[in-house]
Amino acid sequence: MNLGIKRSSTAGFLALLVFFTLFGAVKPAQAGSTIQVNDFADRYHDPDYCSLRDAIESANKNSKVGGCTAGTGTDTISLEAGNYQVSDPLHGELYINSNLTIVGKGNQGTQGTYIVADLNLGDRVMHIDPTLKGITVKLSNLAITGGDKSDGDGGGILNGHEDLAADSDDRANLTLENVVVYGNQAGSNTV
């Protein structure tokens, strides 16, 4: 009998057991949820609908908001073709503060996906939180229009602070893929 091999196997097993007990098992990165928006109106916390605003909040908070499924990790919000309204003056712009992908069906014609700010909103369409360096936001196959931030920056999308001169690195990693941003107004730094 060779007891040397048995002792070394037992010692190795015990070392691994102590390591995983102290440091935990390595967990793979958590895949995100797909949140399917089912309403074009700008509803807020309506349990019967999943509006775009509530879908973004579900992704930001990693919890169920309104009729939307809870976000987890890096989420994907799926939009069918149509006009998604941003019209709630109480809550204003769509505010993103987590890793997120928003995917539409296209950026033109009757089969396109449009995120449209109401003329009376008086705000930009979308603001990506400038305090969370390193978050990644991807927008694809959609159009963003109607934003009006006459007293500030970024009529359609603001990625960072109002005053980008303060810290030019203070913004998220933003990717626009097959996205048209048009018909927006801002006092400066218009996008």
* pLDDT above 70 coverage of the chain, percent: 76
* pLDDT above 90 coverage of the chain, percent: 56
Task: Give the torsion through C-alpha atoms of 76, 125, 127, 103, to 10 deg.
Answer: 20
Question: Is residue 163's pLDDT more than 70?
Answer: no
Query: Over the stretch 10-32, which tens digit does the pLDDT of each residue have?
Result: 555 455 444 444 444 433 445 68
What local confidence, expressed as pLDDT, does residue 20 receive?
A: 45
Phi, psi (rounded to 5 degrees) for 175: -120, 125
Q: Which strand (E) or helix (H) includes residue 7?
A: helix 3-23
Query: Over the stretch 95-124, which tens digit does the pLDDT of each residue have?
Result: 999 999 999 999 888 889 999 999 788 899
Tokens standing for 149?
């931030």
Residue identified by tokens 């003329």 is: 119
